[in-house]
């Protein structure tokens, strides 16, 4: 998660495997080299990108959902206005010459998203960047590990009940 502050963005959680590009750029720009400090200095020019960019772009407006609260009336609240953001990300991918796979509505099932992530991630080399973009509903569920009683975030896919 990132919190907005005046100036740089600070990552509260450690970056996961595959996000070495941000850490590498941070270190090359002479920002903070601490293992826990992930600030990016926006005042300096960007470090030239290495490798390719691979994206999975998912969008759900729930117009296809006939059962849940998110589907069309009378049972749901009607479709979300997610088409614009979905199309904007596809256009951004094209203009930046990123390789991408897009999923819309019925394609955005748990299995469909997982398969797309696996397929696109398999094409990534160590110096590449992987981006997952989702526009749709999310929710919070009790943590599966029950260690601290906290909550985990989840995506509301069209096959979720």
- Digit-coded pLDDT (tens) for 94-113: 999 999 999 999 999 999 99
Using a pLDDT cut of 70, give the percent of the chain over it. Answer: 63
**pTM score, whole prediction:** 0.66
**pLDDT of amino acid 142:** 83
The least confident of 8-12, 26-30, 87-91, 125-129 is: 8-12
For residues 133 and 48, what is the distance between their CA atoms, to the nearest angstrom?
23
Please give the full DSSP string across 31-46, using - where no structure is assigned: ----TT-----TTSPP
Q: Is the pLDDT of residue 74 over 70?
A: no
More confident of the two residues 83 and 30: 83
Q: Is the pLDDT of residue 18 over 50?
A: no
Average pLDDT for 125-129:
93
């Amino acid at each position: 998660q990132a919190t907005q502050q005046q100036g740089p963005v600070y990552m509260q959680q450690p970056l996961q495997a595959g996000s070495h590009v941000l850490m590498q750029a941070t270190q090359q720009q002479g920002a903070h080299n601490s293992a826990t400090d992930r600030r990016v200095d926006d005042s300096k020019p960007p470090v030239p990108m290495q490798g390719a960019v691979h994206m999975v772009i998912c969008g759900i407006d729930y117009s296809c959902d006939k059962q849940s609260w998110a589907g069309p009336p009378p049972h749901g609240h009607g479709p979300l206005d997610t088409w614009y953001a979905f199309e904007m990300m596809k256009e951004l991918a094209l203009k930046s010459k990123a390789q991408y796979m897009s999923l819309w509505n019925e394609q955005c099932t748990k299995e469909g998203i997982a398969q797309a992530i696996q397929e696109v991630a398999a094409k990534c080399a160590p110096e590449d960047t992987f981006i997952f973009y989702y526009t749709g509903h999310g929710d919070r569920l009790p943590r599966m590990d029950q260690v601290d009683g906290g909550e985990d975030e989840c995506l509301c896919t069209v096959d979720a009940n």
